[in-house]
Amino acid sequence: MQTNHKKILLHRLGCILLMGCFLLKGSLAYSNWAGRPDHIFQQRTLSGKVTDDQGQPLAGVSILIKGNSSGVSTGQDGSFEIAVPSKNVTLTFSFVGYATQELAVGNQSVVNIRMTAENKALNEVIVTGYSSQSRRDIVGAVSSVQGKDLVSVAATSFAQQLQGRAPGVQVGNDNSPGGGVAVRIRGIGSITGGNDPLYIIDGVPTQGGLNQLNPNDIENIQILKDASTASIYGARANNGVVIVTTKKGKSGETKISLDAYTGIQNAASKAPGFLTAQQYGDIYWTASRNAGLVDPVTGNPVSSIFGNGPTAVVPDYMIPVGAKEGDPNTDISHYSKDPLDPEYGISKFQITKVNKQGTDWYNALLKSSPVTNINMSVTGGNDKGRYALSAGYFDQEGILKFTNFKRYSIRMNTEFNVKKAIRIGENFQFSYTDGVNTVLRNADGPMTKIYQIPAFQPVFDIAGNYSGTRDKQVGGENPYAFLERNKDNHNTATRAFGNIYMEVDFLKNLTGKTSVGLDYLSSNLSNFRSFPYENYLAQPQAATLNVTNSNTLGLTWTNTLNYTKNITDDHKITVLVGTEAVKLKGTNFGTTKQGFAFEDIDYRYLDAANTVTNSNGTASASSLFSLFGKADYSYKDRYILSATIRRDASSRFAEAYRWGTFPAFGAAWRISDENFMKGARFINELKLRAGWGKTGNQEIDPYNPYGTYGTSVGTSSYDINGSSNSVVAGFD
């Protein structure tokens, strides 16, 4: 047995050596053949010129021999020369922005080619409400914005990033980090109802909390601006519809991406100039004279700060009122900011100097604000499933001091092929936000206070505390103090948003889809207000803490059937039918307490206070049920008709008015495809379209149909005796 094993081993070694010799011989033969002169292959030179649709030369066009890496580029005049084998070859012409073309070259020696501009936007497939369409087939007003264009702007929400990127869309915000955003599509749609558009994110409707969604997860946005396209959403479409599609995984190798940036933001507008103390006094004097507010004896205005002379005299101190340098009451030993001090206003004062040059309140409140955005994503898939996972961190400090916003987010989008005709998937995002902000446009906001407070008032008094307005002729509240006291009042929110779905191809052209969507938001606001000791005539009062908690839950169940059929090469029809049910629930609870033993941040909890001053809670619920359908017809990809109808039943209306019907029609004629337009090469797309439709607005109080009328003797008066503020006995 041992001998046989040796024979077998020797036999195998012999075979291996023989094969090695054969391969070596073949390799040498190939090497010798490859090293022979090129004239073994007969070649020839091919020349030509590449131009665009208008006959203008194209420089830099890449020309390759198909199946070979050999190639050249065109010169400035569009001309080229390339060596090709004598046998028939195919040349590939490619250039950015133009359709790639292939040309089979026979015995030609000169080849001239005209390249056609590639308009990818026209071939783009966009989501237009429960289905997708080619942009070429759209008959209504739809604007598209790509996600890559949005993220070039550092902003908290994608709604802010839409500014200036779509015609007919106006975006306003309160300029605070994480603050509110107002989007208006073609103006306002209601005087008393809501004017915000309907947002559809991966098929799930939402109308708020946009700053909790990560803009970096967005693939594209479609904005439905007219009734012919938006009516598919019926009673919610009066203010337009914004459809957001997030990034999905694609079959192929796993890709890991990291996108991070940090930068500095500054206020864009130039700060206005502020008056000096003397300018303020002169204007005050002029205003007093014009209003007749003068001393009847001297004829001069009278001011506790500027005196009573013929002109305003600026003192050295605001407090004590009108004091000059050297006044013993301005010594630090007479300083007190406690209005409960029995000597306050007599021998104790919150001593404050006049800023004779004027205080630049803009520079006092504004600053350069850093912003950081970090996003990481993992995408990939195969023929059985696809996935897109991402995590994001966003940190923005406000240009207004003591304001900031942070967001942490995770997104998971997956889809799996259960069988050849069945797909299941989900799109979910979880986020947590934490912000300190104040409404800048509010009448009581810090930017308004800048114009209410006199320019000669400094930010701080001589002891480094907030300067006050204790003189009755000086109004306003110190805006710096307002902001600094607000810096620990956080607004936090936790959100879960997304859907799970299943698609089934019942037939070759018939696809059904069912989707269940979730939108859950829980937010908490803690608002602590200490007593502003520096304000004029402010009565001492205990610090207050208001804590508000709100929870909203939205559930959406959508079912659709989509049928697409190319009857012939010239006729194409698409039919969509579906149902949708939406349920919204919300609760809100708030409590205000006072009586804190300490105002330190570690004691700012409801349990640390002893008196409840206010407590309230509310709840709301509403529902919407819908039936809808849509049909599109195209003839020769040139003449397009579209019809839509939706029936909505909303609980926000009385039973007799609960149902509404929202039809729409549209037509389009692609003139650029007509034979008589073939010579107009300067026109890529020319389409005439017309549409008509109806939309509704259900953004009213959920309990609007249950409102009642009431009477009150004390407030319901009738002018019988010539008085509009009294009630005549016997009339109730």
Burial of 438 (0-12, 13-18, 19+ CB in 10 A): buried
Instruction: Summarize the confidence of residues 286-308 as an average pLDDT.
Output: 91
Q: Is the pLDDT of residue 541 over 90?
A: no
CB distance 247 to 377 below 8 Å: yes
* Ranges 179-193, 593-607, 634-648, most confident: 634-648
Q: Is the pLDDT of residue 120 over 80?
A: no
- Residue 203's closest CA among 494, 506, 518, 415? 518
Instruction: Summarize the confidence of residues 421-427 as an average pLDDT.
Output: 95
Q: How many CB atoms lie within 10 A of CB 577?
A: 16
The Cα angle at residue 182 between residues 180 and 185, in degrees rounded to 5: 160
Per-residue model confidence (pLDDT) at position 717? 53
Query: Per-residue pLDDT tens for 606-664?
Result: 888 888 998 999 999 999 999 999 999 999 889 999 999 999 999 999 999 999 999 99
Per-residue model confidence (pLDDT) at position 430? 96
Q: Is the pLDDT of residue 22 over 50?
A: no
Residue 572 neighbours by CB under 8 Å, 6+ apart: 564, 565, 566, 633, 634, 637
Per-residue model confidence (pLDDT) at position 289? 93
Tell the residue number behind the tokens 């107002």, with chain if given.
182
Q: Is the pLDDT of residue 117 over 80?
A: no
Burial of 727 (0-12, 13-18, 19+ CB in 10 A): middle
Instruction: Summarize the confidence of residues 19-30 as an average pLDDT.
Output: 36
Q: Please write down the HEC assignment for all residues of 571-589.
A: EEEEEEEEEEEEEEEEEEE
Q: For strand 422-436 and strand 404-419, is the pairing parallel, antiparallel, or unpaired? A: antiparallel
Per-residue model confidence (pLDDT) at position 402? 92
- In angstroms, rounded to a whole number, what is the distance separating the alpha carbons of residues 182 and 404? 20
pLDDT band at 425 (very low <50, low <70, confident <90, very high): very high
Per-residue model confidence (pLDDT) at position 244? 92
Q: Is the pLDDT of residue 471 over 70?
A: no
Q: Is the pLDDT of residue 523 over 80?
A: yes
* Ranges 34-48, 158-172, 499-513, most confident: 499-513
Whether the upstream peptide bond of residue 320 has omega within 30° of 0, thus cis, is yes
- Residue 204's closest CA among 246, 143, 240? 246
Amino acid at 113: I
Per-residue model confidence (pLDDT) at position 709? 66
Q: Is the pLDDT of residue 121 over 60?
A: no
The answer to which of 50-64, 341-355, 433-447, 677-691 has the lowest mean pLDDT is 433-447
pTM over 0.85: no
Q: Is the pLDDT of residue 10 over 50?
A: no
Query: Per-residue pLDDT tens for 122-176?
Result: 556 777 879 888 888 888 888 888 888 888 777 788 888 888 888 888 888 776 7
- In angstroms, rounded to a whole number, what is the distance separating the alpha carbons of residues 550 and 616? 12
CB distance 711 to 732 below 8 Å: yes
- Residue 74's closest CA among 113, 119, 118, 116? 113
Q: For strand 62-65 and strand 71-73, is the pairing parallel, antiparallel, or unpaired? A: antiparallel
| Backbone φ, ψ for residue 122 (5° rounding) | -70, -30
- In angstroms, rounded to a whole number, what is the distance separating the alpha carbons of residues 485 and 529? 7
- In angstroms, rounded to a whole number, what is the distance separating the alpha carbons of residues 322 and 302? 12
Per-residue model confidence (pLDDT) at position 728? 56
The Cα angle at residue 297 between residues 296 and 302, in degrees rounded to 5: 65
Per-residue model confidence (pLDDT) at position 710? 60
- Residue 304's closest CA among 325, 281, 283? 281
- In angstroms, rounded to a whole number, what is the distance separating the alpha carbons of residues 471 and 284? 15
Instruction: Summarize the confidence of residues 443-452 as an average pLDDT.
Output: 79
Query: Per-residue pLDDT tens for 665-709?
Result: 999 999 988 888 877 777 878 899 999 999 999 988 888 888 776
Q: How many CB atoms lie within 10 A of CB 450?
A: 21
Residue 383 neighbours by CB under 8 Å, 6+ apart: 251, 417
CB distance 476 to 182 below 8 Å: no
Q: Is the pLDDT of residue 58 over 90?
A: no
Instruction: Summarize the confidence of residues 87-104 as an average pLDDT.
Output: 81
Instruction: Summarize the confidence of residues 707-726 as an average pLDDT.
Output: 57
The answer to which of 447-461, 578-592, 685-699 has the lowest mean pLDDT is 447-461
Instruction: Summarize the confidence of residues 101-111 as an average pLDDT.
Output: 86
Whether the upstream peptide bond of residue 339 has omega within 30° of 0, thus cis, is no
Instruction: Summarize the confidence of residues 368-393 as an average pLDDT.
Output: 93
Distances (CA, A) of 285 to 181, 296, 306, 677: 42, 15, 9, 74
Q: Is the pLDDT of residue 13 over 50?
A: no
Per-residue model confidence (pLDDT) at position 59? 81
Per-residue model confidence (pLDDT) at position 66? 80
Query: Per-residue pLDDT tens for 398-413?
Result: 888 999 999 999 999 9
Instruction: Summarize the confidence of residues 500-524 as an average pLDDT.
Output: 95
Residue 640 neighbours by CB under 8 Å, 6+ apart: 137, 139, 632, 633, 634, 666, 667, 668, 669, 670
Instruction: Summarize the confidence of residues 101-117 as an average pLDDT.
Output: 85
Tell the residue number behind the tokens 């005196």, with chain if given.
307
| Positive or negative: CA dihedral 27, 28, 33, 34 | positive
Measured in Å, how far apart are the chain's first and last C-alpha atoms?
Answer: 124
Per-residue model confidence (pLDDT) at position 31? 35
